Structure 1
């Protein structure tokens, strides 16, 4: 009888305590935000209208330190968000995995992506990260490199003998082919009807219409129905491939362990990695590896086209390393002996990081030089802003690969270059991405010894 009385009372106490903690944290966050500088916002909606102004955002990203100092706030509805971008402040937040976790913006993506490494938190994220990490180490990259080379060679053939070309379309096709083959085991030439060619992330559209950030409102919208339909198509596609893979395995009709899906099946059969985990993580890697890699390659070619002397220097390096080649391909060892190529890619990622803003929520108080950021505070970390700090990168809008030379790296603090985030929650596939980008750019430049890539307009991604 006593238990029946105590249990409800304990539950009510727990709920009241959580509500009180949430209100206290919110008040602390608002109090800090009111002390900080920041751009003017519109009544009620705050900073949201500014998200439509690309020129304003680029100016803010390039000059934020001059306008507001090392930390500033914005408002989205009644919620304060704080931007930090100085390397030492970033280290305080990112270096320790228990200091912060993914913010509610990532939960919004669950409907589309699923609960994979990008969106998950806590023990589930930690477990799956531990399971998957080995498959992106150097000893596994060789397994994927042959796929990179075959798809890159097809890209080169599509570019050759064409005076003008919409390079982003061809690059995106190449990257999609690589992902289908490396992640799912689908031959790159059989992806025409893949739903991964049609996916659309609706996060920004929801932010621009902030009433849609409320799940109850969003679920009644046509946008929600479209997003669920997309998610269903992606997960059903991967599920069909999984079922076929398992059937082929029983009949010994395939070479096993040729793609990431095979390794995930091994995990599913030997650990508590579930089929749902497998589907979520496959969708996550397929979506995360598309626009980020495609945009970086396109921007790198754009910067090389705008800087002919840099392109010529890079071509000379590629020519020296690959002079003995007869097959048209560039092997992994050769790509690893192209330091200037890596410098060009890193400088591209500095100027045009594929993910310009990362969102976190603090789980503990964090002391910075002049402020204490309270637990519960939503923060934005902007690689775009950090990469353009003039006291670290002089003439920050100039494309200069020598910043990442052996000598230049001495002047770049840790956490000052974070295109793949940093700390324990950095991008698990960054080595895969670097090698993929290196191979494609090297193959394209090697195939054009008689001419140079030139750009008369811009690059659209």
Structure 2
């Protein structure tokens, strides 16, 4: 009995100490929250309805510094979250992995994707990041260009075959991106069995209902069973594909990211089969919506700003290539890259990041204590007028080499920044450039009548409600033929 007490007593004391420490950190955060300005909050719910109403976030994005100052607070139920968006402050929080870690919202994603780079903290994140990082060097990424090109041409040929529009381009882009990722990450084409066609993360549903943030309550709802079966389906499918890749594995010819994971595992016993599956699922899900949204909104801005589209086409046409394209040529498309970045400035695919501080942080005299939950919003940061004058104007010249050299490095963060930035951002940029360059070489685009603007919706990533509708005009037609065709009455088509 005494021996049992000797074991249990320290555990009880440690548990109480941890609880007391958490309570102390929570009370410090509460005191800070009451000192700061912020939007009015409802009892119990806090500001969850506001956060799910993206019109409000757009309002913050335009007026946050005037409304609330450089730091403001909101509430998710009874838990305060501090919004931080000034680049100098972001440098402190995001510039070191020792200052902050990913918080409860990434734990929710953990239920869905498993233990991947997006959800992990600490040793496991550092270990896997170190193993995987070399495989995103530009020399390795060149091996994916054939897959990018093949799917970009398939995407473009659908419009050549079906007509010129008007068309809701969004679903076609999403299918193209899914096909591209399926082949470049998993090494197999998309088939009807692929669960990646229909996965849906429950994050926004749980934010809208803060009681569902408690895993024990969430487990009692139908959402939990749906999420569990989706996760099981994704992981089982990826496991099956991994077994195929192992049988076909040839070290001299690495065809996809799973092949590279197999190579990592050969020399690193701490990189297990579960690591390969978790990271495969993570890369598949992380790349779909974000890249698809970036392409769709870039096309919208090009359709709206014809003079910008003309400059992009001139740059593409100057390459004098009919079908094949190289990484060197893609990297030489500086103006297209400026356009993509300006689109991501206005509509970052992921508008909100979240962290919890692991140390006290001093932001210009305001102390944010350890345990403080922080919202970081690229959407707000990208619209700060003192960094981006006339911030709502679409102006790709903001990202000319001369202007970038003067730009605060933490003022443009569509892929996050610092040691926990998006490992695949170069991959994503090459994929986006390839698809856009192939498509724009074939078509001039304008906005479809009645769809001159977009309305944003938010489900982890930003998207346009109802999609992006474009009118397509073949560049192979003579101008007179094109004009007569444009005058014809066409039936809109959609996927």
Question: In the alignment, which residue of structure 2 is the partner of 1:372?
Answer: 367
Question: In the alignment, which residue of structure 2 is the partner of 1:267?
Answer: 264
Question: In the alignment, which residue of structure 2 is the partner of 1:394?
Answer: 389
Question: In the alignment, which residue of structure 2 is the partner of 1:424?
Answer: 419
Q: What do the CA deviations read for 1:220-256 (whole angstroms, capped 9, x no partner)?
A: 111100000100110111111112222334xx7x984
Measured in 1, the distance between the counterparts of 2:369 and 2:155 equals 50
SS state of the match for residue 118, structure 2? coil
SS state of the match for residue 289, structure 1? helix
Tell me how large the CA RMSD over aligned residues is: 1.6
C-alpha displacement of 1:13: 2.2
After superposition, where does 1:81-230 map in structure 2 within 5 Å?
Answer: 81-160=81-160, 161-187=163-189, 190-230=190-230
Measured in 2, the distance between the counterparts of 1:111 and 1:5 equals 36
Question: In the alignment, which residue of structure 1 is the partner of 2:398?
Answer: 403
Change (3 A) 1:163 1:16: closer
C-alpha displacement of 1:433: 0.3
C-alpha displacement of 1:4: 5.2
C-alpha displacement of 1:186: 0.5
1:434 corresponds to 2:429: yes
Question: In the alignment, which residue of structure 2 is the partner of 1:413?
Answer: 408
C-alpha displacement of 1:328: 2.5
Measured in 2, the distance between the counterparts of 1:374 and 1:114 equals 29
Measured in 1, the distance between the counterparts of 2:248 and 2:404 equals 49
Measured in 2, the distance between the counterparts of 1:337 and 1:248 equals 35
Q: What do the CA deviations read for 1:90-118 (whole angstroms, capped 9, x no partner)?
A: 00101111000001110011111111010
Question: In the alignment, which residue of structure 1 is the partner of 2:312?
Answer: 314
Question: In the alignment, which residue of structure 1 is the partner of 2:48?
Answer: 48
SS state of the match for residue 73, structure 2? strand
Is the CA contact 2:142–2:326 (under 8 Å) kept in the aligned structure 1? Answer: no
C-alpha displacement of 1:165: 2.0
1:13 corresponds to 2:45: no
Is the CA contact 2:166–2:448 (under 8 Å) kept in the aligned structure 1? Answer: no
Is the CA contact 1:177–1:191 (under 8 Å) kept in the aligned structure 2? Answer: no
Question: In the alignment, which residue of structure 1 is the partner of 2:471?
Answer: none
Matching residue within 288, 291, 301 for 1:290: 288
Question: In the alignment, which residue of structure 2 is the partner of 1:302?
Answer: 300
Is the CA contact 2:302–2:445 (under 8 Å) kept in the aligned structure 1? Answer: no
Is the CA contact 1:153–1:443 (under 8 Å) kept in the aligned structure 2? Answer: yes
Question: In the alignment, which residue of structure 2 is the partner of 1:64?
Answer: 64
C-alpha displacement of 1:269: 2.8
Measured in 2, the distance between the counterparts of 1:439 and 1:27 equals 51
Measured in 1, the distance between the counterparts of 2:407 and 2:192 equals 43
SS state of the match for residue 340, structure 1? helix
1:331 corresponds to 2:326: yes
C-alpha displacement of 1:88: 0.3
Measured in 1, the distance between the counterparts of 2:222 and 2:4 equals 45
1:348 corresponds to 2:350: no
Is the CA contact 1:306–1:454 (under 8 Å) kept in the aligned structure 2? Answer: yes
Q: What do the CA deviations read for 1:384-409 (whole angstroms, capped 9, x no partner)?
A: 00000001101111110000001221
Write 1 or 2 for the structure with the bigger share of strand: 2
SS state of the match for residue 401, structure 2? coil
C-alpha displacement of 1:12: 2.3
SS state of the match for residue 109, structure 1? helix
Is the CA contact 2:235–2:277 (under 8 Å) kept in the aligned structure 1? Answer: yes
1:454 corresponds to 2:452: no
Measured in 2, the distance between the counterparts of 1:246 and 1:163 equals 44
Measured in 1, the distance between the counterparts of 2:248 and 2:133 equals 26
- After superposing the two structures, state which structure 1 stretch, 439-448 or 381-390, moved more: 439-448
C-alpha displacement of 1:212: 1.1
Q: What do the CA deviations read for 1:400-419 (whole angstroms, capped 9, x no partner)?
A: 00000012213421100000
Q: What do the CA deviations read for 1:307-359 (whole angstroms, capped 9, x no partner)?
A: 11111111111112x22x2x423322211111100000000110000100000
Segments of 5+ residues of structure 1 without an aligned counterpart are: none
Is the CA contact 1:302–1:455 (under 8 Å) kept in the aligned structure 2? Answer: no
SS state of the match for residue 410, structure 2? coil
Is the CA contact 2:346–2:382 (under 8 Å) kept in the aligned structure 1? Answer: yes
Measured in 2, the distance between the counterparts of 1:118 and 1:452 equals 35
Question: In the alignment, which residue of structure 1 is the partner of 2:472?
Answer: none
C-alpha displacement of 1:192: 3.4
Is the CA contact 2:234–2:281 (under 8 Å) kept in the aligned structure 1? Answer: yes
SS state of the match for residue 407, structure 1? helix
C-alpha displacement of 1:270: 2.3
Q: What do the CA deviations read for 1:60-87 (whole angstroms, capped 9, x no partner)?
A: 2221111001000001111000000000
Q: TM-score, normalised by structure 1?
A: 0.95
